[in-house]
Amino acid sequence: MDEVNLRGAVFEALDVAWKENGYDQRRDDPEQVAIDLASYCSNLEDLSPERLLPHVRAWQEERR
């Protein structure tokens, strides 16, 4: 998955978690959010948390 598509997938997963499931991760530890995505999100589970981390941080910055 290229970085543009990865960013979109991370943003979508976090938006769904927040808006549809009530998990507000805007102020959570970004490293832990990346670990959770890599562990529990089916379309991101094969990726390392380190690769997800910059996109998690970008999402948090845009949603504050």
Note the helical H segments in the chain: 3-19, 30-40, 49-63
Residue 22 backbone class (left: φ over 0; alpha: ψ -120 to 50; beta: rest): left
**What was the pLDDT predicted at 28?**
96
Give the domain range for residue 14. Answer: 3-63
**What was the pLDDT predicted at 64?**
87
Indicate the SS3 state at residue 62.
helix
Structurally, how many domains does the chain consist of? Answer: 1
Length of the chain: 64
Q: 26-44, pLDDT tens digit by residue? A: 999 999 999 999 999 999 9
Tell me the residue type at 35. I
Cβ 43 vs Cβ 13: under 8 Å: yes
